[in-house]
Amino acid sequence: MRQYTKDPDAVAALSPEEYRVTQQSGTERPGTGKLLENKDPGIYVDIVSGEPLFASSDKYESGCGWPSFTKPIEPAHVAEIEDRTLGMIRTEVRSTHGDSHLGHVFPDGPRDRGGLRYCINSASLRFVHRDDMEAEGYGDYLNQVEDIA
């Protein structure tokens, strides 16, 4: 089984925005993320550790301005932490092994798909197209990726 860890070389290669989001718990401006409009089949992995986080088949258009997913592809790779910043109580989500700030999870997702909305910063993710998943070591997740229209 593949081991995922926070890769110092990957951290050093982050853009200033990716660093601010993943390492300093920042948030990208709504509507600006590079993966917001992505509709290709594949998986989204932590930009720092490579751990699989979300599948394209669980992505949906929530209208919030950030990529939204109904559930993690591998729940053990997404840690949920109480966040009391900004005068409210929210649930922050971080990658378990990379310890990257990903975004937040809210209970206002599609009811027929579990009711959760994982609101995730594009800057914390790297997209791996279905055609490249096997070569990049993510072949075990191919059965969880469907064509989406």
Spatial separation of the C-alpha atoms in residues 67 and 33, rounded to whole Å: 8
Q: Where are the domains of the chain?
A: 8-143
Q: How far apart are CA 107 and CA 8, in angstroms?
A: 34
Q: How confident is the model at residue 149 (pLDDT cuts 50, 70, 90)?
A: very low
What pLDDT score was predicted for residue 14? Answer: 97
What is the fold, at CATH topology level, of the domain defined by 8-143?
2.170.150
pLDDT beyond 90 at 65: yes
3-state secondary structure at position 28: coil
Q: What percent of the chain has pLDDT over 90?
A: 86
pLDDT digits 0-9 by tens, 87-107: 778 899 999 999 999 999 999
**pLDDT band per the 50, 70, 90 thresholds, residue 57:** very high
Per DSSP, the three-state class of 10 is helix
Sequence-distant (6+) residues with CB within 8 A of 91 are 80, 81, 82, 83, 104, 105, 106
Percent of the chain whose predicted confidence (pLDDT) is above 70: 97
pTM of the model: 0.93
Q: Which residues are known catalytic residues?
A: 119
CA distance 146 to 14: 29
Give the amino acid at 5.
T
Q: What is the mean pLDDT of the chain?
A: 93
Q: Indicate the residue type of 133.
A: M
d(CA 44, CA 40): 11
